[in-house]
């Protein structure tokens, strides 16, 4: 079983556990969105609904029935989303930023829209609630010099502690293969962690990945990445895994599939030593690749296709913002004098 399928099955199990304690109309809602959502997305929706139910039961001191849901007014929902900004539950403090609250509101809106369409409630006041206004954040990415410093640290262990350098000696080829793959293909860290050995085509410098939503795609990587990937594959073939049937491409020091978290920690380690003033994550490497690809080609559609974006607006807003150099280089492209 491949990693993507294994992850899906894990979320299916989580969803069933939550649904076992949910009323029938929630189960019916999840069935209604089944064909257009992934198990992970349904899990997020369920967690948001579960949170809303817990809040409502605390406030109303009663089970959440369709009649109760239909009686809630706009003010009630506004108070709930204000509550989500900062609250304490089971002795633990929680906070949500505007992005998180907007996502939770979207979940609740989808749920109540279903209840209204199925005549389970007579009106849907969630449509009257304004979405939180999000402040546009600067997309963090590596400059050319920063990328070179970062890659030098990955390849040579520059500025690492003595203990980190000891570990680096045994894992430097693997780490370089991962980082060059991320920086030359733009794949997500989850897609990288889910790669099996059979997903790599070294001859054509490509990998087969499973996108969010379950679609398969072929993505290409550079000759620079190919050099390290081939070196790592030679090493990978000699490793005896704990599980003889392990198909994972990238292995941890425990000889198991590297997790998303492990890759994030690895990248953070090198970034702190080479680019200390920027918070570099795998997602920032994806943004770096997207911007560099756009600067090199000027083809926003190519960037969107490579990143797996269904809506090109996402590419424009979050990844391929033109660099200052790109804008400067093209300042005379439009001329009004013959």
Structure confidence by residue, pLDDT tens digits, 135-157: 666 778 898 899 999 999 999 88
pLDDT of 200: 95
Q: Are 181 and 221 in contact (CB under 8 A)?
A: yes
Higher pLDDT, 319 or 280: 280
CATH tag for 3-128 (out of 3.40.50.150, 1.10.760.10, 1.10.150.130, 3.30.2130.30): 1.10.150.130
Is-contact 293 307, C-beta < 8 A? no
SS3 string, the chain, reads CCHHHHHHHHHHHHHHHHHCCCCHHHHHHHHHCHHHCCHHHHHHHHHHHHHHHHHHHHHHCCCCCHHHHHHCCHHHHHHHHHHCCEEEECCEEEECCHHHHHHHHHHHHHHHHHHHHCCCCCCCHHHHCCCCCCCCCCCCCCCHHHHHHHHHHHHHCCCCCHHHHHHHHHHHHHHHHHHHHHHHHCCCHHHHHCCEHHHEECCCCEEEEECCCCCEEEEECCHHHHHHHHHHHHHHCCCCCCCCCCCECCECCCCCECCHHHHHHHHHHHHHHHCCCCCCCHHHHHHHHHHHHHHHHCCHHHHHHHHCCCCHHHHHHHCCCCCHHHHHHCCCCCCCCC
Residue 78 is predicted with a pLDDT of: 93
Rounded Cα distance, 284 and 278, in Å: 10
pLDDT-based confidence at 175, cuts 50/70/90?
Answer: very high
Average pLDDT over residues 160-184: 89
Least confident of 9-23, 88-102, 221-235: 88-102
Over residues 58-79, mean pLDDT: 91
Average pLDDT, the chain: 88
* Residues 189 and 178 sit within 8 Å (Cβ to Cβ): no
Residue 167 has pLDDT above 60, yes or no: yes
Per-residue confidence at 320, pLDDT binned at 50, 70, 90?
A: low
In this prediction, residue 310 has a pLDDT band, given cuts at 50, 70 and 90, of confident
Q: Give 70's pLDDT tier (boundaries 50, 70, 90).
A: very high
pLDDT tens-digit series, residues 321-338: 655 556 666 666 655 555
Distance CA 199, CA 206 (A): 8
First vs last Cα of the chain: how many Å apart? 65
Tokens of 263: 């890759």
- The pLDDT, as a whole number, for residue 119 is 95
230-260 pLDDT tens trace: 999 999 999 989 888 899 999 999 999 999 9
Question: Does 228 or 315 have the greater pLDDT score?
Answer: 228
What is the pLDDT, as a whole number, of residue 169?
83
Report the pLDDT averaged over residues 20-36: 94
pLDDT at 59 over 80: yes
Residue range 144-328, CATH number: 1.10.443.10
Q: Any idea where the domains of the chain sit in the sequence?
A: 3-128, 144-328
């Amino acid at each position: 079983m491949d990693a993507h399928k294994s992850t899906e099955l894990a979320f299916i199990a989580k969803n069933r556990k939550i649904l076992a304690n949910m009323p029938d109309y929630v189960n019916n809602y999840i069935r209604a969105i089944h064909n257009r959502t992934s198990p992970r997305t349904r899990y997020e929706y369920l967690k948001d609904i579960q949170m809303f139910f817990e809040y409502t039961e605390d406030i109303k001191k009663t089970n959440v029935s369709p009649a109760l849901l239909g009686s809630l007014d706009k003010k009630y929902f506004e108070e709930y989303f204000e509550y989500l900004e900062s609250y304490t539950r089971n002795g633990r403090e929680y906070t949500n930023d505007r992005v998180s609250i907007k996502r939770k509101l979207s979940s609740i809106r989808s749920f109540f829209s279903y209840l209204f369409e199925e005549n389970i409630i007579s009106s849907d006041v969630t449509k009257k609630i304004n979405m939180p206004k999000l402040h546009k954040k600067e997309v963090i990415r590596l400059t050319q010099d920063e990328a070179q410093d970062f890659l030098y640290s990955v390849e040579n262990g520059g500025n690492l502690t003595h203990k980190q350098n000891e570990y680096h000696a045994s894992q430097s080829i693997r780490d370089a293969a991962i980082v060059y793959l991320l920086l030359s293909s733009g794949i997500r860290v989850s897609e990288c962690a889910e790669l099996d050995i059979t997903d790599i085509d070294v001859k054509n410098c490509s990998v087969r990945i499973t996108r969010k939503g379950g679609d398969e795609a072929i993505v290409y990587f550079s000759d620079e990445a190919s050099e390290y990937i081939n070196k790592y594959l030679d090493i990978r073939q000699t490793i005896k895994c704990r599980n003889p049937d392990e198909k994972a491409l990238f292995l941890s020091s425990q000889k198991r599939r590297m997790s998303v978290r492990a890759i994030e920690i690895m990248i953070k380690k090198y970034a702190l030593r080479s680019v200390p003033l920027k918070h570099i994550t795998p997602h920032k490497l994806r943004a770096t690749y997207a911007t560099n690809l756009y600067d090199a080609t000027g083809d926003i559609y190519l960037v969107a296709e490579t990143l797996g974006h269904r809506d090109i607006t996402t590419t424009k807003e979050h990844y391929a913002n033109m660099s200052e150099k790109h804008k400067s280089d093209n300042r005379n492209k439009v001329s009004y004098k013959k």
